[in-house]
Structure 1
Amino acid sequence: MATASYLISCPSCGTGNRIPADKEGLRGRCGNCKSALPPLYCHPQQMSDRTFDSFINSYPGPVLAEFWAPT
């Protein structure tokens, strides 16, 4: 059975690294230069007022945020 995977380019050397979908949110290492790869998020992540700032400050890539309030 084939496992879903995603291709992430290494920010240091540009090499494409295939990341299994079950490793979502975990940092990995480049197979070529061994530099740290940014965590991969494929699904929306629910944040709270306590977790939002730390996530935004530590995530190296672009972030799309949707804000809502209960009626």
Structure 2
Amino acid sequence: MSGLHVDARGLITTCPSCGAANRLPFAHLGQPTRCGKCHTDIGAPTEPVEVPSTALFDALVLSSRLPVLVDFWAEWCGPCRMVAPQVALVAQRNGGRLLVAKVDTDALGDLSARLGIRSIPTLAVFDRGDLVARTAGAMPADRIEAFVRDAIADGD
């Protein structure tokens, strides 16, 4: 992944102008943000964020102002590797409207068990902390976006 990281309060990103680290609080995702150092506008995240722990996953999905698409995957999984570029494309095309996260099911087996993830890749949509939809299997970006739109519309 890149310079986008998650902590208990938000996403940490690097300013494109000065390189300073900036926190984007979960509750303010999707809103305009400026660098705390040089005041350059910082765009919405347009790439998936790797979630390193169950606690950070919980903080992210419970506190995010934006819906969260989660890609549950594993390094050894061929279909997971096939869908990864499609998930990245969804993140790129939906910055500011959707946050895309990746969870390695081997690293976070407790989370996978808690959520009943039995096959990978599994894509899940969380909205305001609630799991609103999930599906298993690789699919192109357009179908992933349709899946997310339907999930969010059903949750309204």
TM-score normalised to structure 2 length = 0.27
Q: Please identify which structure carries the higher helix content.
A: 2
- CA displacement 1:52-71 (0-9 Å, x = unmatched): xxxxxxxxxxx523112xxx
**Stretches of structure 2 lacking an aligned partner (at least 5 in a row):** 1-7, 47-66, 70-87, 91-140, 144-156
Identity %: 29
Alignment of 1:5-44 (within 5 A): 5-40=10-45, 43-44=68-69
Aligned residues: 48
The letter for the 1-side match of 2:11 is Y
Query: Once superposed, which parts of structure 1, at least 4 consecutive aligned residues long, lie more than 2 Å away?
Result: 40-44
CA distance in 2, matches of 1:38, 1:19: 10
Greater RCO, CA 8 A, separation 6+: 2
- Residue 23 of structure 2 aligns to a residue in which SS? strand
Q: Which runs of 5+ in 1 are unaligned?
A: 45-62
Separation in structure 1 between the aligned mates of residue 10 and residue 45 of structure 2, nearest angstrom: 11
Q: Where is the strand percentage greater, Structure 1 or Structure 2?
A: 2
Q: TM (normalized to structure 1)?
A: 0.55
Aligned residue identity for 1:16: A
What is the CA distance between 1:15 and its match in structure 2? Answer: 0.3
